[in-house]
Amino acid sequence: MNMKLIRYTRPDLWSVSPFEQMNTLRDEINRLFEMPFGELSRPGEFFTGWAPALDLREDKDHLVATVELPGLKKEDIEVSVHEGVLSVSGERSQEKKSESGETYRSERFYGRFHRTLSLSKPVKVEAIKAAYKDGILTITMPKTEEAKPKQIAVNVG
């Protein structure tokens, strides 16, 4: 029997750029730490969902969250604040497939999403406002009086 050794060659790992690979890894790690533990028990859903980009900023009187949700209707979005945790969830429905051709590339995410974020300051839940315009959800959360910075007068003695 004549045996031939063939040198092992690694599969082409660079068909996707290293930067895209790192962004995907970062997104999945962020989702791991933001996801409630109850959701980890559902098999197959851990790496299949999507998470819209979310920014949180703070000014003197408010915490303001901005979430990118292009293509959603306001009826598809749910916002809540409970015990200092902001939750934004909803669902993006997949467009009906066109019968006139094939899809060669699909990078948009569809299905349910759920983002949670612990707020750094207490907010007035009854005064929170959410506005949705041009695919951007803006959630304005007024801080409670005790969370606002206080100016202290200095007396000269």
Residue type at position 80: S
DSSP strand pairing (54-58 vs 111-118): unpaired
Q: How many CB atoms lie within 10 A of CB 83?
A: 7
Domain boundaries along the sequence of the chain? 16-48, 52-95+110-147
E strand spans, 119-155: 129-133, 136-142
pLDDT in 10s for each residue of the chain, 157 residues: 566 676 666 555 555 567 777 777 887 887 777 665 544 444 444 445 678 999 999 999 999 999 999 989 999 999 999 989 999 999 988 777 667 777 777 777 778 899 999 998 999 999 999 999 999 999 999 999 887 777 778 888 7
Residue 45 has a pLDDT of 43
- State how far the Cα of 136 lies from the Cα of 12, in Å rounded to an integer: 38
pLDDT score at 150:
75
Fold of 52-95+110-147: Immunoglobulin-like (2.60.40)
pLDDT at 47: 47
DSSP E strand stretches across the chain = 54-58, 62-68, 77-82, 85-92, 111-118, 129-133, 136-142
**13 burial via Cβ count (<10 Å: 0-12, 13-18, 19+):** exposed
